[in-house]
Chains A and B, each alone.
Chain A
Amino acid sequence: MKEVLINAERCLGCRSCEIACAVAHSDSKNLLGAVGETDIPIKRIFVHQAGKRNIALSCRHCEEAPCIDACIAGAMHRTADGLVDNTGGTGECSGCWMCVMVCPYGVIRSEIDRRLALKCDRKCMDESAEPACVRACPTRALKFVVVDEFSRDRRQRFLDAIGNESV
């Protein structure tokens, strides 16, 4: 399965991914249209600062996803494609925020008024089969790749390195 990876050394914090994500989840699918929509389109990726670095975070679609365990409505589930999604499952999201309470990455949004948890659902792919955030990234800090053991290791080393700075 392919994953969205972030190379924080390349991330400028320009937030192009955030905008692209919101636009891809809008009705009109373009920036001009999106800003005029009554239900403001909502991003599901977040550019954060950790120490001196920028990191774009979105759902990791975890293998043993705590949000699936926690969902009291049976809405959060694993799709046939291996993604974690709270739409299109057996149950309907009731806005109880159990998933928000247990997601360690903090990447599930609580839309209080709509009583709906929102997260990366990859319903943003185009013909290139890449997510909108990845397509929008001007520095290729975001990549959509099959993760092998080698890059897992490299990523770990990198994360350990920022760990020493920030935690």
Chain B
Amino acid sequence: MHIAIIGNSAAGLTAARTIRKIKPSAGITVISDESGPAYARCLIPEILAGVRDIPGIGYATQQFYQDYDINLRSGIKVSSINAVNHKLKLEGGQVIKYDRLLVATGASPVQPGWPGSDLPSVFTLRTASQAVMIRKMAIDCASAVVEGGGLVSLKAAYALKKRGVKDVAVIVRSPHILMKQLDRDSAGLVENDLTSVGIKFYYGTGLAAAIQGPRGELQSVELEDGRQLPAGLVVIGKGVQPNSELIRNAGGKINRGILVNEYLETSLPGIYAAGDCIEVTDSVTGAQVVSGLWTLAVEQGRIAGCNLAGQARKYPPPLTRLNSAQFGSVPFVSVGDVQGGDELAVYQGAGVYRKLCFRDNRLTGFIMAGLVDRAGVYTSLVKQAKKLSAPLKDRLINGKVTGADILPILTRQGGIQ
């Protein structure tokens, strides 16, 4: 049995590890167009900032692939899948036969389209090699502009500042940052955390064009409202789109991302998919959305690995909103649906913010900023979607809830070991 995996990151690597544990005899080949062993993609801002190098954010060592007898083919792209003959074609023409296949190709940044956005000093941030390039360029830059108010953009802006870029401006089309994760008040706390290190924000507009200097180099950018900002480099964070072309071209079904059944199998028999490249159903809202989280990619990689190795395992609809981060001194967590609900409970204290969203007496989402202790107890309740008793709801609202309050629910779910 030979199992091939395209993608050597959260989903692909976890699947490979899982398969090896279940099937010691399986042949496993992992193919990636990025070079080297897997790294922690979410930490590439630390490379940009110059505080870590690529080995410093390693997610697996070279030794790991030997220990797990995984044939890693890195630095080479898969150009097509022949689902009928069970063959992969690599760029350069080599063909690899497989019995089962996992597509864990992740996602790619949405590319900007304004004039000048193809200049070499306009970047997106998704790979370690991009982070290295930005780091090199940033050292000679007095100013940088970041487009987008999402997590990746803000991490990039914070890292550029750490790198020593004097003027860092973030252009946000929405009324506040982190629209998907936070509300105005909590976003304000996080924004203060970023402005306190000197990052500037420009709201309600977007980038319109690059303005080049005498040698064709990027000098500044023009905003849609006509204002101009100096910029030695630009980082664009306008979201990502799933890498689903391989499956599309092989005749598989695609919607927003690759469509999979509850065993994470695509519409092409024997071909599974996991991670940022797939579409899933959000457990709280029921909406079809792209997966898009490291946590989910690992979880799906494990489930897909079980199925690929012949141990049937279902993947229940996941919670697709699960974010936590800290830039300077303000930690924050955002889980579930933080916009909907029929009842809100907000707590605001000195530097601390907590908002709970209920629907039908069930916790459907929450935001915590400034203090994130025991956030997991809340997350667990969002996942369980259980009707809350009045005392438990009180403890949630006043922030006193602990794991002990929900132990029985956890154990009934098989959570205690």
A residues touching B (Cβ–Cβ < 8 Å)?
3, 46, 48-50, 55, 57, 60-64, 66, 68-70, 72-74, 90-92, 94-110, 112-113, 115, 155-156, 159-160, 162-164, 166-167
A-B contact count (CB 8 A): 161
Q: A108 — which chain B residues lie within 8 A by C-beta?
A: 376
| A95–B373 CB distance below 8 A | no
Q: Is B42 an interface residue (CB 8 A)?
A: yes
Q: Is B294 an interface residue (CB 8 A)?
A: yes
Q: A101 — which chain B residues lie within 8 A by C-beta?
A: 322-324, 333, 335, 372, 375-376, 379
| A106–B376 CB distance below 8 A | yes
Q: Is B403 an interface residue (CB 8 A)?
A: yes
A99 to B295, CA, bound (A): 10
Interface bits B369-399 vs A (CB < 8 Å: 1, else 0): 0001111110110000000010110000000
Q: A103 — which chain B residues lie within 8 A by C-beta?
A: 376, 403
- Nearest chain A CB to B186 CB, angstrom units: 14
| B40–A104 CB distance below 8 A | no
A26 to B229, CA, bound (A): 51
| A110–B46 CB distance below 8 A | no
| A104–B415 CB distance below 8 A | yes
- Name, among B58, B294, B331, B404, the residue most crowded by chain A CB atoms within 10 Å (CB to CB): B404
Q: Is B412 an interface residue (CB 8 A)?
A: yes
| A112–B409 CB distance below 8 A | no
Mostly, the B contact residues are: helix
A4 to B415, CA, bound (A): 15
Given contacts A61-B417, A102-B379, contact A163 B409 (CB under 8 A): yes
Top 6 A-B pairs, shortest CB-CB distance? A163-B408, A106-B374, A104-B380, A105-B403, A48-B404, A103-B376
A2 to B405, CA, bound (A): 24
Q: Report the nearest B residue to A68, measured CB to CB.
A: B298
B174-216 with Cβ < 8 A to chain A = none
Q: Is B141 an interface residue (CB 8 A)?
A: no
Interface bits B64-98 vs A (CB < 8 Å: 1, else 0): 10000000000000000000000000000000000
Partner of B326 from the list A60, A72, A95, A106 (CB cut-off 8 Å) is A95
Task: Give 24 pairs: A residue, B residue, CB < 8 Å, sorted on A.
Answer: A46-B403, A49-B404, A50-B405, A61-B417, A70-B294, A70-B322, A72-B41, A72-B295, A90-B58, A90-B61, A91-B58, A96-B42, A97-B372, A98-B322, A100-B333, A100-B373, A101-B376, A102-B379, A104-B379, A156-B411, A159-B411, A163-B407, A163-B409, A166-B408
Q: B408 — which chain A residues lie within 8 A by C-beta?
A: 159-160, 162-164, 166-167
